[in-house]
Chains A and B, each alone.
With several copies, the nearest count.
Chain A
Amino acid sequence: MSGDLAGLYQQVILDHSREKHGFGLAPTADASSHQLNPTCGDELTLQLHATDGVIGSVTWEGAGCSISMASASLLHDLAPGLTYDEARERIALFRELMQSRGAGVEDEDELLGDAIVLEGVSKYVARVKCAMLAWVALEADLAQLDAAH
């Protein structure tokens, strides 16, 4: 096994991909979006539960590779308590991290919490889509809430 592969599949990621924090859809939600990765047919539905402009929790369901599942699980851990704008900021930063080709981004530890374990994905251009799936879903949820206003 190369060092690269160990960097991509850190133990935290493999654990999250099995534990899937926040897995299971609630009967209702304030916003919900469905995302698809057409290359592999992976799918993910992500619900947003919020009160007064602050995220309460994120729940999701889907099937996909360990990267996409771990990423959704990590996002579930990160999101609660963030305002919409803060959440958007984190999504933007995470996207930047994913496009950094292994170089990382500033303030990542502080703002992205455990999700920075996904940094290794940025060296694998073809896998960035997997890691982004849940975050793109959250972005779509936030856009729905905006549109509803």
Chain B
Amino acid sequence: MELATPLADAEVLRLRRDFPALNQQVHGRDLVYLDSGATSQKPVSVLDAERSFYEHENSAVHRGAHTLAANATELFENARATVARFVGARENEIVWTSNATEGLNLIAYGMSNASLGRGGADAARFVLTEGDEILTTEGEHHANLVPWQELAARTGATLRHIPVADDGTLRMDEAERLITGRTKLVTFTHVSNVTGVLNPVDDLVRMARAVGALVVLDACQSAPHRVLDLAALDVDFAVFSGHKMLAPTGIGVLYGRAELLDALPPFLTGGSMITTVTLEASGYLPAPQRFEAGTQKVSQAIALAAAVDYLSSVGMDRIERWESELGARLVGGFSAIPGVRVLGPGTGVHRAGLVSVDVDGVHAHDVGQFLDDRGIAVRVGHHCAQPLHRRFGVTASTRASAYLYNTTADVDAAIDALAGVRAFFGASS
């Protein structure tokens, strides 16, 4: 296969014109937005798609028979088809959620409902009892850790963790040891939101399959940034958030293999997910409606489809290559600064376009403030990954994360600013 040409600065500067928020000043300096790992900016086409819906089709989907309702339903379901194609899934395998966090909670609550006897025999494979194990990793976002702690507490199952090595990669020797006949579910992030490490999905899926465990993939940091084919990765479930991939807040996706989604007991219940309701009991529709109770995030789903169209028109393979160049440049620049330690893999290792650092003697909050003063927006804190920060012996770090609209000049500005931090705070003395 031929490699796609990555983006280049000139093209990126053209793309950037599509993003109104990037065209502003902060503290009298041009904004350099390097916080896309937290949330991305939105192109005009996405904003227009949502507004156009409210100006023309807005009405209740799947519930009305009038013209507007029919048109709204069609746009809404077309959006599902667009997103399904984008990640190599079928339409009935795509469930709208409000964010990735909700998607992970949906799986966890579906399993605890199964464990309480809901869903009958079909749901047997989701039942957890004492002695069963859920396996996650030391490198997860809280969204892929806390719901499983709670699931374990509700069902009596035990939560275990694959440890992270000094270079930020998973200890696969430990994974081998930890994945046993007791393991019912293995869940891990595709790309770390702290270190940029890409986890070995194929190996983990193989190990999980060998013991019959379900596999959940947190694709929050991969779906926006690289070509994703969930059917090819052969995971059972996956989640991601629209706001990190050019779409509005309030929309996320849960992917599940069709036969699993149809067997998992419902999570949220209410209107539009039922067949027949009596005062005593209710019957439930198959997926995806089964998991879409109440009025859905209609305009947000339509806007997510517009975002996906934008990404596809640029080319996910090209975006991936460009960000990997930016990531390499960030790592190179940051690690050359005295007193700056990169968390996770150093130079020369393939990584996503995000890098977190600890600055000796200066707290991350102060680092971030110093950069902000130069118009550079980065993320400071634990990035919702306290255990991983503890693993690296710090409580907080400073993260720069790039996206398709960042140039090498953006990266260089961040490197240049970071180089001045320790002197300003008197930490180099």
Contact = CB atoms under 8 A, between A and B. Distances in A.
Nearest to B289: A38
Interface centre among A40, A42, A130 (most CB of B within 10 A): A40
A5 B369 CA distance: 8
B27 A39 contact: no
B28 A2 contact: yes
Interface stretch (A48-56, A60-68, A71-79, A136-144): A60-68
A35 B364 CA distance: 19
Contact of B373 (A5, A40, A43): A5
B381 A41 contact: yes
A38 B369 contact: no
Contacts of B381: 39-41
Nearest to B71: A125
Nearest to B363: A65
Contacts of A82: none
Nearest to A15: B426
Contacts of B426: 14, 18
A40 B382 contact: yes
Q: Which secondary structure characterizes the binding site on chain B?
A: mixed
A8 interface: yes
B54 interface: no
B69 A4 contact: no
Interface string A1-44: 11011001100001000100000000000000000101111110
B380 interface: yes
Contacts of A130: 365
Contacts of A18: 426
A38 to B, nearest CB: 5
A126 B395 contact: no
Interface string B339-381: 0000000000000000000000011111001100100000011
A125 B70 contact: yes
Contacts of A124: 70, 369
Interface residues of B, number: 32
B276 A127 contact: no
Contact of B74 (A42, A64, A125): A125
Contacts of B424: 1, 9
Given A39-B62, A64-B363, A5 B370 contact: yes
- Interface-central residue, A39, A43, A67, by most chain B CB under 10 Å: A39
A38 B275 contact: yes
B396 A126 contact: no
A36 B276 contact: yes
Contacts of B69: 126
A126 to B, nearest CB: 4
A140 B225 CA distance: 43
Interface in A85-141: 124-127, 130
A2 B396 contact: no
A126 B275 contact: no
B149 to A, nearest CB: 17
Contact of A65 (B27, B274, B365): B365
Contacts of B276: 36, 38, 41
Contacts of B206: none
A67 B362 CA distance: 11
A10 B380 CA distance: 21
B287 to A, nearest CB: 14
B71 to A, nearest CB: 8
Interface in B1-47: 27-28
Interface string B271-302: 00011100000000100000000000000000
Given A39-B65, A40-B381, 13 more contacts: A2-B28, A5-B27, A5-B373, A36-B275, A41-B386, A41-B396, A65-B363, A65-B365, A66-B363, A66-B425, A125-B70, A127-B369, A130-B365
11 contacts: A40-B380, A40-B396, A41-B382, A41-B386, A41-B395, A65-B365, A66-B366, A67-B366, A126-B64, A126-B65, A127-B369
The 4 lowest CB-CB distance pairs between A and B, nearest first, are A65-B365, A65-B363, A5-B373, A41-B395
